[in-house]
Amino acid sequence: MPPVMCVYMPGKPTQTVSKFLAQVRQQWVEWVKEVDVIAIVGVRPNLIENYVWQPVLSCRAEVWYVGGKDGDYHQLADSLGNRLKYLAPTFDQAIDQITGSLCSQLEMNLLIVAR
């Protein structure tokens, strides 16, 4: 995910580069629609950021999550159900699972979201 997508505070109108941000957010929607797996690493779920999370919630992809269970994690987990695969609280604890899964599924489309 392009970092610029989340620079602006939720609910606050974007007064500069609004067309560019709209294009970036639309590209995010397209990427999420096309992948088999989304790997979210170190990103705290904040579901009020609808432009980030709604595409994830509405897509068909499995979601691999690495990070803490704070923020809106539990609401995200409830919404995703069995599509969510919690890997570990930190990247170094999850890397073996990530690489193992990648090696076993080389044909899949993967989108990694990292902070």
Say whether pLDDT at 67 is over 80.
yes
Domain count of the fold of the chain: 1
Residue 53 lies in domain: 3-114
Give 20-64 pLDDT, tens digit per residue. Answer: 888 888 999 999 999 989 999 998 999 998 888 999 999 999 999
Q: What gap in Å lies between CA 27 and CA 23, rounded to an integer?
A: 6
Query: What CATH number is attached to the domain comprising 75?
Result: 3.40.50
Of 105 and 24, the one with more pLDDT:
24
Note the pTM of the prediction, 2 decimals. 0.78
CA dihedral 59, 104, 65, 42 (to 10 degrees): -120
Q: Which of 62, 59, 49, 48 is nearest to 97 (CA)?
A: 62
Measured CA distances, 33 to 27, 29, 54, 58, 107 (Å): 10, 6, 11, 9, 17
Give the helix/strand (H/E) hosting 84: strand 84-88
Q: Among positive and negative, which fits the CA dihedral 42, 47, 48, 49?
A: positive
- Residue 54 has a pLDDT of 95
